Amino acid sequence: MNNSSNKESVVLADDPCLAGVSLLDFTAVVGIVEMVKWLLNRLRVKTMPTRARIPLYQPLLRVFCRNNCTQVAWLFLKSLHKIKNMPEELNLTLFQSFHWYNSLDGKFWVDRIKDVPELKGLGISHVWLPPAYKESQGAKGVGYAVYDLFDLGEFDQKGSVRTKYGTKDEYLTCIKAFQEQGIKVIVDVVMNHRCGADEKEKVMVRNVESGDRGKRPGEPYEKEIPTKYTFPGRRGQYSSYIWDFQSFTAVNDDCDNKENSTFYLIELAYSHGFDKVPSTQFGNFDYLLGADVNFRNKDVREELKWWGEWYCNTVHFDGVRLDAVKHMSSDFINEWVSYVQEKTGKKLLVIGEDWSQSVDELTKYQDMSFGKIQLFDVPLHYNLSRASKERDFDLRTLLNGSLVKSCPELAITFVDNHDTQPLQGLESPVDEWFQPLAYAVILLRKEGIPCVFAPSIYGASYSDKNKDEQNVEIELLSVPGIKEMLRVRKERAYGEQRDYFDLPHLVGWTREGVNDRLETGCAVLINNGDAGQKDMEVGRRHAGQTFRDVLNHVQGKVVINEEGWGTFKVKERSVSVWVKE
């Protein structure tokens, strides 16, 4: 092995994502990756995306796994992003198409079709659609209080045929419209709980205090609880499975009663207590809300796997966003993902929502999934939120403790979403003035896959009650410059990245571009203090060329010198994105 490979191994050994693996393993794996890279180049596999190239590595991974080297196999995948000069792939960009307060008029699916041409032009590669199945509030529900996973707006249940978003036929038409323009569709999958039971059952339960599940539950007693789901409107179509108390671990009296701190642990013959889940918050965070699904029940697991197969074959989605994964058995999630992909023959983009501010917890979950699941970068969101609110925030620390810094190949970055928007339970929005800076960070850097929130492009207005039960009017404005930055990501933000995180209130980076696309390359500055400037290298390939601020915040031009450097400027508390004329 040459010296450069050994040097790369040392760098890998410092990666917190890979703690506990020996340097010998790193050296061996990096050598294998270099060998595979050489083979791919010999075969002229230049433009195939990394995810499409993964199947080419499967024979090696199978050898690892057969020899009980699962950790090394996972390390092999993790190390791919560390190897320089791999063929450049087109940037992926996700779009979250909804927010919590979309209209109740039932026209969501129809209206989204109108957005397809613009989103395609902005470089959106994947669209994340809201939960499409019937929930406990019928046509008024956002979709996360799941009632019937098989009802996509087809059956008269919970007071309506359609969901909040429209009918099943409109849903299928919407998906087809995106896919015909080359935009892949990610569906929202909520398997953790059920709400809106059709009947109650009298069973033995124990009281549990939600704030401390480590305490011994109370003594068992008999109680009527809402745990029987018969789906009378569907009448057994697609599935005849009846959910009863044996399908659940625990239940509350009311899915929407957030004030009740007590829920009921169901006494079952085949399992005792809570399931083992990734989150140890409150002692055990298996129970979240409603009737908590018991994944230790074999019939439940088979039903959910069948539903996943049916759902994919019915709507032909390209990826899934898995809700509340830290509250569910990671073994089952791995089983479900593998089953659906095997049965449908589709390689899905799988994204998990593990709402944790601890990057250690996130990387631990990724290890549990052996790289099958990418995660939203929750720590980065909170960094961006704090940076928008703290006047003296040190921008050099903006990426500290983030998933995109620790494990960039599995990070989905975002600025805000439906949970963090004003008046929601995880309310922590990034302040308006900082949103353009935040989007520059997630859109124009090399690491991570960004997810753009619909109101950031189209705006939103709504009203709801705050914590003091006062009605509040909210208006979310579209983010200035976001369309320009999306186009820069689509067309120019490629190639080697050079970071200039050397001043507390003024940081920047450059992307050199790639040789086969002459228009590529850019320089970015973000600033939360006074106006400033910074000398940055964009590469000698740009020598003599003129750059301008595509956001038009700074007037004038920058001519790149013969060494590939330029002096770039930015205004007070602002962002500038410099590209070639």
Tokens encoding 62: 């199978």
Antiparallel, parallel or unpaired: β 522-527 and 574-580: antiparallel
CA dihedral (354, 357, 359, 361) positive or negative: negative
Q: What CA–CA distance (Å, rounded) separates 365 from 376?
A: 12
Provide the 8-state DSSP code for 160: B
Q: Is 212 noted as a catalytic residue in this protein?
A: no
Distances (CA, A) of 506 to 448, 534, 536, 558: 22, 8, 12, 18
What is the sign of the dihedral through the CA atoms of 317, 320, 323 and 328? positive
Cα torsion angle, 279, 285, 290, 292, sign: positive
Please tell me which residue in 115, 353, 354, 537 is annotated as part of the active site.
Answer: 353
Residue 280 CA to residue 428 CA, distance in Å, equals 23
Angle at 563 between CA 560 and CA 565, to 5 degrees: 45
Are the C-beta atoms of residues 29 and 6 closer than 8 Å to each other? no
Relative to beta strand 349-352, strand 319-322 is parallel
Q: Nearest 5°: phi and psi at 8? A: -65, -35
Q: What is d(CA 415, CA 425) in angstroms, rounded to the nearest whole number?
A: 16
Do 247 and 266 form a contact (C-beta atoms < 8 A)? Answer: no
The residue to which tokens 């809300």 are assigned: 289
- 144 and 190 Cβ atoms separated by less than 8 Å: yes
Q: Is 563 among the residues known to form the active site?
A: no
Per DSSP (E only), the strands in 155-293 are 184-189, 193-194, 199-209, 221-228, 248-251, 262-266, 291-293
The phi-psi region of residue 324 (left if phi > 0; otherwise alpha if psi is between -120 and 50; otherwise beta) is: left
Q: How far is CA 514 from the centre of its chain?
A: 28
Read off the tokens for 187: 């569906």
Q: Using an 8 Å Cβ cutoff, are 403 and 382 in contact?
A: no
Tell me if residue 282 falls in helix, strand or coil: helix
Question: Do the beta carbons of residue 56 and residue 36 sit within 8 Å?
Answer: yes
What string of DSSP letters covers 438-502? HHHHHHHSSSSEEEEEHHHHH-EEEEEE-TTS-EEEEEEPPPTTHHHHHHHHHHT--B-EEEEEE
Helix (H) or strand (E) holding 546: strand 546-549
Instruction: Pick the catalytic residue from 292, 323, 354, 416.
Output: 323
Q: HSE on the CB side for 190, CA within 13 Å?
A: 25
Active-site positions read 323, 353
